[in-house]
Chains A and B, each alone.
Chain A
């Protein structure tokens, strides 16, 4: 059973550019959440997608946007990259909205903005 898979694992972008990160949820899961983990910090919630709609959003600017496809996979887009966007981006999938459901995380995409 494939878990949560993310691509790419690493990438380097220049300030001002745009980036797209991808996530395939664990088999059977229909909800995808994205988190940003800066160095030395815990993961911070960006947004959550369910039924192809953004359901909840954390305290991130509009430069961060996403999409969920009919097969439940998801993309995270970041426009006008800043140096401060350098971080590990984690995708988590779950069954939702349901009680007692735990989120399963992918290995993350390490984004470096130079």
Chain B
């Protein structure tokens, strides 16, 4: 039973446009959400996080939106750059206090120049 779902295995976006990556979760106990980016032959790199007390968190070109009632979050990248091409993982945990992360399967983003 997958608790964190990323239903789009891949996404292609033109350089300069917005990339929107989606994530759904089923466990109501999840209270803290993170996005990681992964290049081939490297480990996942932390991008941005959000706790359930917020509905939006912004860091430069990256914004994460959380809709708790819908159990849905999304990552917006504006403007998209070729260097953003990677696999993006959504992860969740019951709190931010260093509890294990539950990951989705990832979405491969390709930004086309």
Contact = CB atoms under 8 A, between A and B. Distances in A.
Contacts, number: 63
B35 to A, nearest CB: 11
Secondary structure of the A contact surface, majority rule: loop
Interface stretch (A40-48, A65-73, A76-84): A40-48
Contacts of B100: 33, 45, 48, 56, 58
B73 interface: no
Contacts of B101: 35, 43, 45, 103
Contacts of B96: 99-101
B103 A44 contact: yes
B106 A31 contact: no
Contacts of B27: none
A40 B98 CA distance: 25
Interface residues of A, number: 31
Secondary structure of the B contact surface, majority rule: loop
Nearest to A102: B46
B4 interface: yes
Contact of A105 (B44, B98, B105): B44
B98 A108 contact: no
Interface string A52-71: 00001010000000000000
Contacts of B99: 56
Contact of A43 (B44, B46, B97): B44
Given A4-B43, A42-B89, A90-B44, A101 B97 contact: yes
Given A41-B105, A45-B102, A97 B97 contact: yes
A33 B36 CA distance: 16
A-B complex: 9 closest residue pairs judged by Cβ atoms: A42-B103, A105-B43, A96-B98, A45-B100, A97-B98, A102-B46, A105-B44, A107-B43, A43-B103
